[in-house]
Amino acid sequence: MGMHMNEGGDDLQEAHDINVTPFIDVMLVLLIIFMVAAPLATVDVKVDLPASTAQPTKRPDQPIYLSIKKDHSLYLGNDRVEPDLLGSTLDQQTKGDKEETIFVRGDEEVDYGQLMEVMDLLRTAGYLKIGLVGLETVGKP
């Protein structure tokens, strides 16, 4: 840094240095915002979830729906099916195509454990592509 003596002129010289003070101020403010917001973004609710894996898929032209009623009865399309016959019935309906997506529709009162049991039946039968069907509600939390 040097001091230049201006002898009588009102002309100010251009500064060719970058003023980094506003940049540092902005970075410090952003750092504080992230330090405060990061702990708020975590979920601290302890839930004992059953294990499952799911992949999003496109909807086919002729979807296969497996419905679970609140009395835990299973329906493939409109036909009732017993849990132990689910694999063979699905094989007949899909003509043995294990890559077919099975759309599971569960009643609102079906508990999560029962839904996971049905998904395990599908996995055991070799059907790994499972889609969950739900209603889209507007305005409800």
On whether residue 115 sits in a domain, the answer given is yes
Q: Quick check: is 93 in a domain? A: yes
Q: How far apart are CA 60 and CA 132, in angstroms?
A: 14
First-to-final CA distance of the chain: 62
The domain in which residue 69 lies consists of 64-133
Does the residue 32 lie in any domain?
Answer: no
Q: What's the predicted TM-score (pTM) here? A: 0.54
Q: Is residue 1 part of a domain?
A: no
Cα Rg, the chain, nearest whole Å: 31
Q: Is residue 82 part of a domain?
A: yes
* Local confidence pLDDT in tens for the 141 residues of the chain: 555 555 555 667 777 777 888 889 999 999 998 888 777 655 443 434 444 455 545 666 778 888 888 888 888 888 888 988 888 899 888 888 888 888 888 887 888 888 889 989 999 999 988 887 765 554 444
Per the document, the length of the chain is 141
Q: How many domains does the chain have?
A: 1
DSSP symbol at 96: T
Q: The domain spanning residue 98 has which CATH number?
A: 3.30.420.270
